[in-house]
Amino acid sequence: KLEEIDQRVRLFKPGMHVLDLGAAPGSWTLYAAEHVGRAGKVLAMDRSPLTVGLPPNATFILGDALVLGNEELARFAPYDVVLSDMAPSTTGSKPTDQARSFELFMRGLAIAATLVRKGGSFVGKIFMSEDLPLARAELRRTFARERLIRPEGTRSVSTELFVVGMERMIP
């Protein structure tokens, strides 16, 4: 999914600093680390350990984005890109799952609004719901451009969507 998003909006360049929220199992972290190269840095964070080995330019911290303070996530800040593939543990209740997804999206966006450098980008996963317009409006307060991306590999019954903010504005 990240590869497809990157192909559409060209997120990564060598030397960039990337924060990967909700990084487990680790495929997004590896992709980002490869594309920012040895001069770049990737900080990955998740409540679950990664299932992959990391290259020297990537670091993992175990934690919950809803609990960790921004200072703990700022190790390589300012970031060029903040990725949030965070998803709630689903309950089977569509309204509950959507509300939890919205909360995680908004936390990722708040972290990006604080830690992304001018001109940087944010990619956040969200389950489509009536909260989507609120999420998009908040994203547009921080980023000059927005893209909604539903990767081709997404199951047809899934409500998963990625909202991409590009060109971080400084207030």
Task: Evaluate whether 58 touches 19 at the Cβ level (below 8 Å).
Answer: no
Structure tokens at 91: 């309950």
What residues contact residue 89 under an 8 Å CB cut-off, 6+ apart? none
CA dihedral sign of residues 124, 51, 60, 66 = positive
> Nearest CA to 29 among 13, 15, 18?
18
Q: Is 1 in the active site?
A: no
How far apart CA 54 and CA 105 sit, in angstroms, is 25
Residue 97 CA to residue 103 CA, distance in Å, equals 10
Catalytic positions are: 125
